[in-house]
Amino acid sequence: MLLNIDFASDEAIYMQIRNGIVSGIAMGRLQDGDPLPSIRTLGAEIGVNLHTVNKAYKLLQSEGFIEIQRNRGTFIHAGNAAKNTAQFLETTGDSLHDIVSEAVTRHVDRAVIHKMVDNLYDELGRERN
């Protein structure tokens, strides 16, 4: 599994794992039904404590991106993520508020932010196809 973990980042490692898996799903590199490495295996591959990987997997499970099947493994199951869209939008609204607040403070034109979002959507869609 290809994850880029930045140990010098302010972002928690479990969130980097979570975000890397969600990004892989968005770009089509990870599909429904694809197996993920076991907690121990992924921890060893990226050099982190297995409890950190477990925390990321539990978060992904609660968000509906993965399914953990006892004695079978962990699998991508992004179809369940749609059930949590309202919660996602509420949480994202807080993050987006911070980003837009800083953009306004820095006098970044609204069109520039819209273009950045459009470009990201296009990039993810292109990689997915």
What does the alpha-carbon distance between residue 45 and residue 40 come to, in Å, rounded to a whole number?
Answer: 9
Given a contact cutoff of 8 angstroms between Cβ atoms, the answer to whether 42 and 60 are in contact is no
Given a contact cutoff of 8 angstroms between Cβ atoms, the answer to whether 48 and 7 are in contact is no
The answer, yes or no, to whether residue 126 has pLDDT greater than 70, is no
Mean predicted confidence (pLDDT) in 120-127? 79
The answer, yes or no, to whether residue 50 has pLDDT greater than 80, is yes
**Tokens describing residue 27:** 């770009």
Query: In the prediction, which pLDDT does 124 show?
Result: 81
